[in-house]
């Protein structure tokens, strides 16, 4: 990624926060370790370039090194972590263009999913989407709200009857740029406004409007994500933003 020279990188001290479970039920230890690292990185507790000390993570979480190593491998695939041969694992760095490209890709892929779903969505699907939307509005738990928002989008993707699209979207949804977006205080209202308009378009069988709304919405997620990272001082200099 931009701003990193793997050949000259000097190890940075681990800066792991203490373990604070997110009140989720984990299927396995690898999932718990991955969630911990994702939260630590997207919240800014682990900064770009920080070394991920896997022994330290394992001790913090009270588990063996094996699930931590598996979590690091998974997160490296999703661009949270950069594995450097013979040196270790480091928190990845995103440039402004990386954030913009991420949301552009999500916009295009989800636009395809919406185009398919709009032609196949059933009254039962719409009823379930309305129910999930109402539950999102009613919950005060930010973690549950994020899970429900993901469920809403997943339901639409699956209505398009494409496992490939569903898999791609789940991969994109678990990437670092998306994690930063969900740290933005305004993400909840931003998503809520999109859901209201999207449901209206789907109920009116207006495929073109649903696709247009979707592509515009996901592209619009880039600006507040970039603004949040600037506010945090994520980019130390203009050279780091590319």
Give tens-digit pLDDT for 97-134: 999 999 999 999 999 999 998 988 899 999 999 999 99
User: Same structural domain for residues 223 and 170?
Assistant: yes
Q: For residue 237, what pLDDT is reported? A: 61
For residue 28, give its domain range: 1-93
Considering the domain architecture, whether residues 72 and 100 belong to the same structural domain is answered as: no
Q: Which pLDDT does position 155 carry in this prediction?
A: 87
For the chain, the distance separating the N- and C-terminal CA atoms, rounded to the nearest angstrom, is 9
Average pLDDT of the chain, as a whole number = 85
User: Does 21 lie in the same domain as 114?
Assistant: no
Instruction: Look at residue 239 and tell me if it is in a domain.
Output: no
Domain stop point among 58, 93, 128: 93
Structural domain count of the chain? 2
Average pLDDT over residues 57-81: 92
Task: Calculate mean pLDDT across residues 191-195.
Answer: 95
**Is the overall model pTM greater than 0.85, yes or no?**
no
Within a domain: 68: yes
Percent of the chain's residues with pLDDT above 90 = 53
Strand partners, 209: none
Answer for the pair 30, 71: CB distance below 8 angstroms, yes or no. yes
Q: At what angle do helices 65-77 and 54-61 cross, to 10 degrees?
A: 120
């Amino acid at each position: 990624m931009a701003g990193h020279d793997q050949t000259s990188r000097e190890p940075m001290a681990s800066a792991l926060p203490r373990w604070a479970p997110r009140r989720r039920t984990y299927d396995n230890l690898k999932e718990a370790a991955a969630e911990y690292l994702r939260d630590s990185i997207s919240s800014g507790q682990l900064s770009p370039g920080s070394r991920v000390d896997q022994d330290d993570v394992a001790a913090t979480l009270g588990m063996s090194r094996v699930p931590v190593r598996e979590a690091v491998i998974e997160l490296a695939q999703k661009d949270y972590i950069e594995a450097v041969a013979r040196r270790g694992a480091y928190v990845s760095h995103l440039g402004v263009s990386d954030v913009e490209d991420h949301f552009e890709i999500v916009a295009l892929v989800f636009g395809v999913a919406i185009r398919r779903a709009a032609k196949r969505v059933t009254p039962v699907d719409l009823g379930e989407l309305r129910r999930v939307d109402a539950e999102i509005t009613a919950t005060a738990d930010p973690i549950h709200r994020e899970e429900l928002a993901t469920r809403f989008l997943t339901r639409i993707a699956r209505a398009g009857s494409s496992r490939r699209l569903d898999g791609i979207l789940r991969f994109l949804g678990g990437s670092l740029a998306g994690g930063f977006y969900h740290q933005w205080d305004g993400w909840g209202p931003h998503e809520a406004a999109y859901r209201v308009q999207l449901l209206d378009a789907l109920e009116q069988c207006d495929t073109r409007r649903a696709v247009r709304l979707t592509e515009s919405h996901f592209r619009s997620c880039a600006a507040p994500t970039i603004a949040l990272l600037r506010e945090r001082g994520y980019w130390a200099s203009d050279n780091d933003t590319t």
